[in-house]
Amino acid sequence: MAIEATFTGWLNDKKDFDWGTVLKMSHSVRRKDESGQWQTVGKDFIDVIIDKNKAAEFSDVLSAPVPCRLDVTGNAKPAHYTNQQGEVVSYLKVWANAIEVQEQDFKPAVEGTEYIDTPF
């Protein structure tokens, strides 16, 4: 059974290969501090994989500007690598089932979002 992940993240880079494209993405980890203000306390890194056979289906995503915000749903698997400093870096691999490019101005809709108090 696959793990399904759904998230909104920032597209930071695109890497093209003969088998498909990897969208290098990040997602901010945010928490409220003692004064009630939201602070970024970390980042999650996510590689979103688009198989070359699905390139036409995701053509709007593959032509999206870098950076931009994307809503992603897909099957996920944890992964890691050792960086040049010898540190193990953990990230998530997601094989995309659905991706939507967010509006270019990145402004949230006012109506119907009153219950959302955490900024992206």
Q: Using the predicted structure, report yes or no on whether residue 9 has a pLDDT greater than 50.
A: yes
Domain ranges of the chain: 3-101
Query: pLDDT per residue over 62-108, tens digit each?
Result: 999 999 999 999 999 999 999 999 999 899 999 999 999 987 554 54
Q: Determine what percent of the chain is predicted with pLDDT higher than 70.
A: 84
Q: Residue 1: its pLDDT value, please? A: 60
Superfamily of domain 3-101: Nucleic acid-binding proteins (2.40.50.140)
| Type of residue found at 12 | N
Pick from 79, 90, 97, 69: which is nearest to 6 by CA? 97
9 touches 69 (CB < 8 A): yes
Three-state SS across 79-102?
EEEECCCCCEEEEEEEEEEEEEEC
pTM for the full predicted model: 0.79
